[in-house]
Amino acid sequence: MGLLKRAVTAAKFLYSHLRNPSSHTYYPHNQRKSNIEIYFDNLWWMMRYCEINHFYYLYGLDRKDGGNPDDYLALRTFRRLRDRANLVMEMGGRKANCTCLLRDKFVFGKYLKVLGFPTPEIIALCDGQSIMWLDTQKTESFESLLRRDRMDVFIKELMGECADGVYSIRTEDGKLYLNEQQVTVEELKKTIKDKCIVQERIYQHQKMSELYPHSVNTIRLVTAISGKEIITLGAIIRIGVNGQCCDNLAAGGVSAPIDLETGRLGKEGLFRPAFGRRTTHHPNTGVVFYDFQIPYFAEAVQKATRLHNFFYGIHSIGWDIAITKDGPVFIEGNDNWEIPTFQAYDRHFKKKFLAVLPKG
């Protein structure tokens, strides 16, 4: 049944992929392959990697003089290799899975804080019933939120991913605002289903706001353990668009590559296939990407590589870093980071990643 379902999905995908290639392409001005060639390219990818290549157009594989599919790592293969290296640490004959250090936002925040790395302050732990304030070490009812006037925080689910379960909370004059809409404590309680952290909001650097002011535009920097050293594999910036308050690519945001040496953005940014194509500037602010210099970028890279030393059990990490007026702030670390955007910008990314993978 599963096999039949997969075959039907594959056929549907191929059909939608080929229906109108010119509407899918990221390179409308380049000479492109014929429908038949695109069809065989995708069929070949499917047979070779047992997966649909959702990023065929993003990688520019429809161009006649475009890349070679062999330069790109299939998502399934990448995830298998990444997880094999990230999920098990072996030391002295003992094995351990260290990923809770990154996946649990409370543990991550506390660990970074004590190691002296900048991260937004966690002020409480809560669930749908009560809230434990870390400053007083007291567990109180949810109403205690209102007693803390002028609070401006995010409530985030402990294990949330991709901006899932993130709520913006504000209190002012004894009133409670959830995502800028006034709500009652009872309504908030109904929204909070799982264990969450209450974390102070950060304000990004003025220059980062110039890119797009409504979201905190974060850097995704990938570091990896290579022998006894920590190296950087690549970096991009994610930027919100069209009034969105998050920078998530899966939610429609735009990304742009960052030159690791200089901290400058590349010429063109990319949207995910469902949200757009290529762009040289931000669609709302008009800021031209090329030559936009990220403030404190060298410090962000230096801190991320130093920080990875304390996550010795995880081979590669995708760090989410915001830039504030005081410097970089680590928002998250992801052991389950994804490769497509990095590959789309850097044809040698596959080679770089495979070169640092632990042998065996």
Partner 1 sequence: MRLLERPITAVKFLASHLRDPQSKTYYPEEERKSRIEVCLDNFRWMFRHFEINHFYYLYGLDRKYGVNQDDYLPKRVFDKLLTKANGPALVGGRRASYVYLLQDKFVFGKYLESLGFPTPKIIALCERDSIIWFDTQRTMPLGSMLEREGLDVFIKELLGMCAEGVYPVRVKDGKLYFNEKQITIESLRMVLKNKCIVQERVNQHSKIKQLYPDSVNTIRLATVINNGEVVPLSAVIRTGVNGLRCDNWTAGGIAIGIDLATGRLRKYGIFKPGYGGKLERHPDTGLKFEDFEIPYFDRVVQMALSLHRFFYGVHSIAWDIGITESGPTFIEGNNRWGMATLQTCNREFKEKFLSTHNF
Binding site for partner 1 (CB under 8 A): 91-92, 94, 96-101, 103-104, 106-107, 110-111, 113-116, 132, 137, 157-160, 165, 193-196, 309-310, 312-313
Match 């950060």 to its residue by tokens.
Answer: 202
Q: Least distance from C-beta 126 to partner 1, angstroms?
A: 12
Tell me how many helices (H) and strands (E) the chain has. 11, 17
3 alpha carbon, distance to own chain's centre: 31
Could you tell me the CA-to-CA distances from 41 to 36, 54, 62, 95 in Å, in that order? 9, 12, 9, 41
Q: Least distance from C-beta 167 to partner 1, angstroms?
A: 13
Q: Least distance from C-beta 210 to partner 1, angstroms?
A: 34
Nearer to partner 1, 158 or 251 (CB): 158
Nearer to partner 1, 139 or 209 (CB): 139
Q: What angle do CA 121, 203, 304 make, to 5 degrees?
A: 65
Q: Least distance from C-beta 228 to partner 1, angstroms?
A: 9
Residues whose CB is less than 8 angstroms from the CB of residue 17 and which lie 6 or more positions away in sequence, other chains included: 24, 38, 42, 56
DSSP code string of 46-112? HHHHSS--TTTTTTTTTBTT---GGGS--HHHHHHHHHHHHS-EEETTEEE--THHHHSHHHHHHHH
Cα(5)–Cα(7) distance, rounded to whole angstroms?
Answer: 5
Q: Least distance from C-beta 111 to partner 1, angstroms?
A: 6
Nearer to partner 1, 10 or 134 (CB): 134
Reported as half-sphere exposure (CB side, CA atoms, 13 A), residue 323 has a value of 26
Nearer to partner 1, 109 or 269 (CB): 109
Element spanning 156, H or E: strand 152-157
Residues whose CB is less than 8 angstroms from the CB of residue 348 and which lie 6 or more positions away in sequence, other chains included: 71
Nearer to partner 1, 110 or 148 (CB): 110
Q: Least distance from C-beta 91 to partner 1, angstroms?
A: 5
Q: Least distance from C-beta 203 to partner 1, angstroms?
A: 24
Phi and psi at residue 41, in whole multiples of 5°? -55, -50
Nearer to partner 1, 136 or 242 (CB): 136
3 state SS of 316: strand
Nearer to partner 1, 38 or 317 (CB): 317
Nearer to partner 1, 226 or 284 (CB): 226
Q: Least distance from C-beta 221 to partner 1, angstroms?
A: 21
